[in-house]
Structures are given as C-alpha cells and as structure tokens.
Amino acid sequence: MNIRHAFILLLIATATMVSAQTKLAIAEPIATGGLKPEEVNAFWGILESSIKSEEYAVVSRAALKQIMTEIGLATTSDLLNLNSRQKAKLGQIEGVNLLLVSEVGKFGTRVTCTMRLVNASTGEIDKDKAVNLRCKDLDDLADKIDVVLERMLSTDKPQKPLAALLQPVIKDDKAPAALADDFGLLFEPTLIANGYPVQNLKNVTKILKEQGLGDLDSLEPKQFARVGQILEVQALLQVTVTQCEVLVQDYLVEETGNMARVTVGSLNAMLRVIDTSTGNVAASIPAMVRVSSRQMDRQMTRGWTGDDYRQYMVATAINDFFMPALVTVKPFAK
C-alpha cells in the first residue's frame, strides 16, 4: 500500500469515527435564582469540560445558538416547552442529536441542580435520564458532575440495585404515630417513580427474626451482608427521625396591631443507605426541613391541618434531600 492510499484510508476512518459520534449540545444553564451570572456561566463551562467520552462530540455554543434561532427559541427554558412545530423542526436539523438542559440555583444554603436530556429527533425529554442534585456549594456540585454525566450519557441501561425500604425509626417521643406511615406511603412510590426498584416485603422485622437476626441497629457489617442475602436486595434504606413538630403560634402584626396565627413545623431526619455487598453504611443523608405558613402559598395551605404540614415536610425531606443524594451513593452510583 502506498502512502497516498494509506492517507485516503486514514481520512475515511477519521470521517467515519466523527460521523459515528453523538452530537451533544450543552445549553446555557437556566438560572433559578441565588447565584451570580458568572457562577452560572462557570457551571456551564464545567458541564462542557466534563464530557470525556469519545462517543460524544460537543456542539459549539455558536452552533447551538444558530440551531435555537432556526427553531425560533429565545432562551434555554424554551427547549423544555417545545410545541409540535418546533419539535418537528428540531428533528430536521442534522447538527445535533442530544441536548443537555440544566437548571441551577441556590435554595436556602444549598445549591440545587436539575439536568435533563432532550432527544433532538423527537424533541422529547428522556424522563429516565433526569437527575436532581442538592449540594453544599458549587464546588461540591462540580465534584459530582463527572459521575452524574457519565451515568446520564451511558447508552447501557443497567438495572438499578434492588432495595428494601425498612420501617422508619422514630426517636422523637412527641412525634405522632402516623409519621412512620407517612414516610412509608410517600418514599416508596417516589423511589419507584425515579427508577429505583423496591423489594415488596410486608414485614422485614418478622423475616429477620425468623432467621435469628434482631434489631438492625445492633447488627455488625457482616450481618448486614447476610440480611441482603435473606431479603435478596443489594441495598437497605432506613430513615431515622430525631425530631418532628408542628406548632400553631400567635404573633403580633405590627402594621395593624392585631394578633394572627402562624403554623410552623420542623423535621430532622437521616436516611441511612447500607450496601449489602459489603455490609457497610454507604451514606448517611441528613434532612433538616423548616416550614412556616407565612412563607408558603396561602392558596395551597388553605384548610391545611397539622397532618398536612407534617406530610409536606416528609415529602420535602424525600424530594429535596434524599432523592438528589441517592444518585451519587453506592451501590446506586455503580
């Protein structure tokens, strides 16, 4: 083979490799508040530099801007609300296959981030690939991005490890008996809706006692591995609540001089994740939830009882604290 033929073959091989790559556009992050514009822009750069797989070719910002202009879109958030005409037009554009759309902002003291993938050929959001993160700060978020993006962009569809959701441990003597049921009723469907298979076990405590195993708090790591074998699960999830309280308080309205009432609530909980392959605690995820009816939508809370506020706090602990953290915790982050 002469040099000319070798060069031609190299060009063909290179062109084939490039055309085989999935063209990924990383849209400008949607700022949801609490962060400076330069911080949002820095996060955009982190996303772009985190695409390390040779399977993907990152579309330039200029090219993405041109694509959005062709479709008639002004902002990134428009990508999440495409009409049928815009979806059809996006599907005709050859310059992109996938679009990564993120939302980032600060909620309280935490930085929150939601990432979604939009299939350019259909304009639809891939619900199985959506990720929610809640981090200490931008540095903490940046540390988790590589793992999360690798998982989101993986073409494999591995089954998430099967988990057993154990009975919550309530350590607050003043907490209502219904609190344990609240976590059971709200946590299991949330896990399943987010693609986490949950073993259908009616009474874990009874099963373990029949096998000569007592209180989970007294077990050694090796025994947790045995628990996993008995229950046929790869992870054990257990919530411990140390404080749950809902109070109605009177306060003075300075503008009018009248007395009014406010409902306040507080919930302190911890989700313990045990990897049964090792018996070790893979993560302890804290949740500190504080609510006040003065800071909530009156239309939403109209007619609410103490039970409603308690269930709202439980749902907040699950959705804003536990679920965003699970995506980076072994064995789920394998």
pLDDT score recorded for residue 17 = 40
Answer yes or no: same fold for 3-153 and 163-326: yes
Question: Which position has the token pair 């959705």?
Answer: 319
Counting beta carbons within 10 angstroms of the beta carbon of residue 164, is it exposed (0 to 12), middle (13 to 18) or buried (19 or more)? buried
Q: Where are the domains of the chain?
A: 3-153, 163-326
Q: Which two three-digit tokens encode residue 228?
A: 């996993």
Its pTM surpasses 0.85 = no
Candidates 316, 276, 270, 273; CA nearest to 292 is: 316
25 φ/ψ sector (left φ>0, alpha ψ -120 to 50, else beta):
beta
Alpha carbons 280 and 268: distance in angstroms, whole number: 23
Assign domain 3-153 to its CATH architecture: 3-Layer(aba) Sandwich (3.40)
Strands 56-59 and 235-252: unpaired
142: phi then psi, degrees, rounded to nearest 5:
-60, -35
What is the Cα 99 distance to its own chain's centre?
18
pLDDT score recorded for residue 180 = 92
Alpha carbons 109 and 314: distance in angstroms, whole number: 19
Domain covering 163-326 in this structure, CATH number: 3.40.50.10610
* One pLDDT digit (tens) per residue for the chain, 334 residues: 555 554 444 444 444 344 468 899 999 999 988 899 999 999 999 999 998 878 899 999 999 999 999 999 999 999 998 999 999 999 888 889 999 999 999 876 778 888 999 999 999 988 777 787 878 788 888 888 888 888 788 776 556 788 888 889 999 999 998 999 999 888 988 887 777 888 766 567 777 778 777 666 677 777 887 888 888 888 989 999 999 999 998 777 777 778 788 999 999 999 999 998 888 889 999 999 999 998 888 888 889 999 999 999 999 999 999 998 998 887 887 5
**In this structure, what DSSP letter does residue 237 have?**
E
